[in-house]
Amino acid sequence: MQYAGLAVLVGCLALLLLSLILRFGWRLDWLLGWLKGMLLLALLGCCAAVAVIAWELYQFRPITDGAQIATLELNESAPQRFDATLRTADGVQQLQLQGDLWELEVQVLRWQGLLHALGLEDGYRLDRLSGRYLALEQQTEVTPTRPLHDTPRWRDAWSWLDGVDLGWLYADAFAIRFMPAADGARYAIEIGTTGLSPVAMNPQALTALKGFD
């Protein structure tokens, strides 16, 4: 009987609320206004999302096979500590690297199907330059470097695209791994349709590469 009584009490409360709704809002004018407002807010959100995507696409550059997209110069400031200067068409960035090696990651957008056939070119954006120790126990000491672009990960269109399958556009990635870091070494970074290539630009870089082999 206890729960039956509670059910009746709650049912009466529901009827009371329904009567209030019918008395003050039965014409539903407020509902139409609310729906219109929600629609406008949804459109505003879509507008903001499209604007963000447009800004993201603006930061990508077409992939030209064999093109030099950056130069990297390393100067040792302390044992296993390097001041890195990365020069691109967009400017110069200064970073601090830790370790014996350097690595470069690049975000890539690849077009497929009709859009690719219409001539849209695959694009790239430099993502991250980082250092790495040869000794695994030292690798835990590496401080993560900031991205080479200004987009935070939570609104990075490439990261969102990496988790979905659109069929006509997908996220890919190129990387240079385990390249030796040496004082005064200067490298050119070349890009192709299948990946990145480091090119030694001075004797220090050549010596580092030979010693690493």
Strands ordered across the beta sheet of 186-191: 91-98, 81-88, 67-78, 186-191, 196-200
Q: How far apart are CA 149 and CA 55, in angstroms?
A: 12
Confidence of residue 27 (pLDDT cuts 50, 70, 90): low
Q: Can you give the pLDDT at residue 25?
A: 62
23 pLDDT band, cuts 50/70/90, is: confident
pLDDT above 90 for 2:
no
CA-to-CA distance for 100 and 82, rounded, in angstroms?
A: 9
Q: Residue 73 above 90 pLDDT?
A: yes
Instruction: For residue 213, name the pLDDT band (cuts at 50, 70, 90).
Output: low
* pLDDT for 92: 95
- More reliable by pLDDT, 211 or 161: 161
Q: What is residue 28's DSSP assignment?
A: -
Closest CA to 188 of 70, 103, 83, 86: 70
Residue 58 is encoded by which pair of tokens? 């603006």
Question: What letters, b where the CB count within 10 A reaches 16 and e where it falls short, cover 154-189?
Answer: eebbbeebeeeeeeebebeebebeebbbbeebbbbb
181 pLDDT more than 90:
yes
Please determine, for residue 76, whether its predicted confidence score (pLDDT) is greater than 80. yes
**What secondary structure letter does DSSP report for 74?**
E
What's the average model confidence in pLDDT over 90-117? 92
| pTM as predicted | 0.79
| Tens-digit pLDDT profile for residues 35-70 | 889 999 999 999 998 888 898 899 999 999 999 999
Tens digit of each residue's pLDDT (9 = 90 or more) over 107-150:
999 999 888 888 899 999 999 999 998 887 777 777 777 889 98
Strands, E assignment, the chain: 61-62, 67-78, 81-88, 91-98, 101-111, 123-132, 169-180, 186-191, 196-200
Distance from C-alpha of 147 to C-alpha of 126, rounded to nearest angstrom: 8
**With 70 as the cut, is the pLDDT of residue 176 above it?**
yes
pLDDT tens readout for residues 185-212: 999 999 999 999 999 999 999 999 887 6
Q: What is the C-alpha to C-alpha distance for residues 87 and 70, in angstroms, rounded to an integer? A: 5
pLDDT score of 1: 62
Mean pLDDT of 179-189: 95
